[in-house]
Structure 1
Amino acid sequence: MATILIVEDEIPIHELIRRNLQAVGHICLSAFDGKEAIQIQAQKEVDLILLDVMLPEVDGYDVFQQVRGTPTIFLTARSSLSDKVKGLTLGADDYLVKPFEMLELLARIDAVLRRTKKESKSFELDALRIDFERRQVFLNESPVECTPKEFDLLEVLVTNRNIALSREKLIELAWDFDYAGDTRTVDVHIQKLRKKLDMENRIKTVYKMGYRLEV
């Protein structure tokens, strides 16, 4: 997992981000203005910065100029194309407009960390090991054959571990489309993963909602 500096002056948004990042295992540092962000980045080893643009003291663009070299995702209410272009042209790794879904933020964080080699390309839990780069799964060091969609679903559960996901959200993330019809295919795939990977006690059913991978 990574050490992530959250630079956001709106406390409810800041706390929501912090709780969700900690739930999936990240270490969080907090700054509520631009000056404080620069000081923390200079003193701590940070893998990624989540950076609001409109900040007290020093705005996000100026902060970014002073912390170059640390992977950064801008989080901002500024949604114009010119603002996005400015942020990305400065060299930011991503630009996410508020309001955003927390699962989208987690996915973008995961993508940036993998790209910058700060995120492990494998995951281990109990006797299970997943190699994301080679799309291979091992149980007790023996390979387990998973279909492409089973692997996609497993990767979504791992990326969002400890977070309850509805069946509809799992279809959106693992099947890559919105679907309002029968979601029993999710249940079928979950049951197969539980059986193949000995995860009956790890993949929990969330009553009247969906599933959660408990780590």
Structure 2
Amino acid sequence: MAHILIVEDELAINDLIAMNLDLVGHSCEQVYNGNEALECLKTNAYALIIMDIMLPGLDGFQLIQHVAEGTPVIFLTAMGGLSDKVKGLKLGADDYIVKPFETVELLARIDAVLRRIQRASPVFALDGTVVNLDSRVVTVNGSEVEFTHREYELLETLIKNKNIALSREKLLHLVWGYDYMGETRTVDVHIQKLRKKLHWEQRIKTVYKMGYRLEVSP
């Protein structure tokens, strides 16, 4: 499931989008003006941004220029003119939806963009943490965080098996290999290090008498 930023100054529309995204399993952050959204973009990572154009403070056309490369944007706006659509798409928007809109169509468009991005990008984002699975670079709130080889391997294993409970023995097998003869306490120590570095105390769940699970559902 994706963590999505909603930038919409009409409270009722903002809440409607958030409610429907929550119902299908996504998590949301809601802001109501361009300046507030800019502060969020400086400190957090999002799988997708849904953005109005006519906003208090920075408008959508200005705001999209501050979005991190690779983060998809859907414009959701009353500005339905062809020139506005062309401008929005040229500025980098992945889709352009004109108000009024049908919620079912919006959800379908969101799913289409997320599927396209997930196929194209080896990036995992959650709660301000961004993991590039190709470069093995991890950032938290925009700052790079260093990991040992085993810490990163454990992190990648949890990501690839997100929402799946993994026993300590299974994690030892996947991360340390067949010939690793250490105690399962090693897994506990490394899990604690990941939680601390990523601020994922509420994301890496302890599964009683078994092991751990990376929980990405809201």
Q: What residue in structure 2 maps to residue 56 of structure 1?
A: 56
Task: State the shift of 1:68 in Å.
Answer: 4.0
Q: Does residue 73 of the first structure (1) align with residue 78 of the second (2)?
A: no
Q: Which residue is 1:35 aligned to?
A: 35
- TM-score scaled to structure 1, two decimals? 0.54
Question: 3-state DSSP class of the match of 2:114?
Answer: helix
Question: Partners in 2 of 1:77 and 1:13 — Cα distance?
Answer: 12
1-structure distance, mates of 2:26, 2:88: 25
Q: Distance in 1 between matches of 2:111 and 2:39?
A: 25
Report how many aligned residue pairs link the two structures: 119
Output the CA distance in 2 between the equivalents of 1:18 and 1:36.
Answer: 17
Query: In the aligned structure 2, how far is the partner of 1:111 from the partner of 1:103?
Result: 12
Question: d(CA) in 2 for partners of 1:11 and 1:117?
Answer: 30
Unpaired stretches in structure 1, ≥5 consecutive residues: 120-215
How far apart are the structure 1 equivalents of 2:119 and 2:40?
19
Give the match for residue 98 of structure 1: 99
Name the SS for the 1:117 alignment partner.
Answer: helix
Q: In the superposition, relative to structure 1, how do residues 57 and 118 fare at CA in structure 2: closer, same or farther (>3 Å)?
A: farther
Task: State the secondary structure of the residue aligned to 1:116.
Answer: helix
Separation of aligned partners in 2, 1:36 and 1:71: 19
- Which consecutive segments of 4 or more residues in structure 1 shift more than 4 A? none
Letter aligned with residue 112 of structure 1: V
Structure 1 residue 5 displacement after superposition = 0.1
2:24 maps to which residue? 24
Bigger RCO (CA 8 Å, 6+ sep) = 2
Say which SS state the counterpart of residue 55 (structure 2) adopts: coil
Q: Please tell me whether residue 114 in structure 1 is matched to residue 92 in structure 2.
A: no
For residues 62 and 28 of structure 2, the distance between their equivalents in structure 1, rounded to whole angstroms, comes to 22
Which residue identity does 1:58 align to in structure 2?
A: L
Partner of 1:188: none
- Counterpart contact for 1:47–1:118, Cα < 8 Å: no
**Aligned position for 1:3:** 3
- CA shift at 1:118, angstroms? 7.5
CA RMSD of aligned residues (A): 1.4
2:208 corresponds in structure 1 to none
Partner AA of 1:50 in structure 2: I
Classify 1:25/1:101 alpha carbon distance in 2 versus 1 (closer, same or farther; 3 Å).
same
**Which structure 2 residue ranges, 5 or more long, are not aligned?**
121-218
1:86-136: per-residue Cα shift (whole Å, max 9, x none)? 0011111000000000000000000000110089xxxxxxxxxxxxxxxxx
Aligned partner letter, 1:107? A
- Give the TM-score, by structure 2 length: 0.53
